[in-house]
Amino acid sequence: MKIPFVDQWRKRHGNTPIVVSGPGAEGGDDAEGVAELLAECELLRAQAEEAGVELDDSVASLAALDQLVPRWREDEDVLHWLGNDAGLYLGTIMVHHVTGAAWVIWPNGQPVVRLASGREIDVVEAGHEWAESGAPELSQFYAEAAES
């Protein structure tokens, strides 16, 4: 996933994974800006609002998303962007609610969530799987990750 803001930021910070939020965050205000950018998820929020679901960054909102009728699957462009947004929203919830979880940007620009155990989760990939097939459910994915 290419995010121009992140690409520019990476040029200033080298070619190693960078922790941008949570424990061990690097980069000060820039890092905070990256974490805020990752949390925007505009398309997902618009789709959810249209369906009457409020995305309040709570764990319960993941279960509400799992109940949406997947009308987006008919449009390849929407499917791709919604998958990105779903993964970033899942990651945002994990970083906010799982002790020790943090956003990490890999050298290729891919945002992942690093758990306190050191395990890194490609939440964008999980978001794409959810958008395409509904499985794993976002709430289930969160619960399994929170246990690790």
Give, for all 148 residues of the chain, the pLDDT tens digit: 555 555 665 566 566 677 776 666 665 556 677 788 889 999 999 999 999 999 999 999 999 999 998 988 989 889 999 999 999 999 999 999 999 999 998 888 899 999 999 999 999 999 999 999 998 899 999 999 998 7
Taking the mean position of all CA atoms in its chain, how far away is CA 104? Answer: 11
Pull the structure tokens for residue 70.
């997947």
Q: Output the pTM of the full model.
A: 0.84
Q: Inter-axis angle of helices 138-147 and 59-66, to 10 degrees? A: 140
As beta bridge partners, residue 65 has none
Pull the structure tokens for residue 50.
């249209």
Pull the structure tokens for residue 84.
């990105």
pLDDT at 14 (0 to 100): 61
Neighbour-count burial for 122-140, b at 16+ CB within 10 Å, e otherwise: bbbebbbbbbeeeeeebbe
pLDDT at 77 (0 to 100): 87
pLDDT at 33 (0 to 100): 77
Sheet containing 111-114: which strands, arranged edge to edge? 18-19, 102-105, 111-114, 120-121
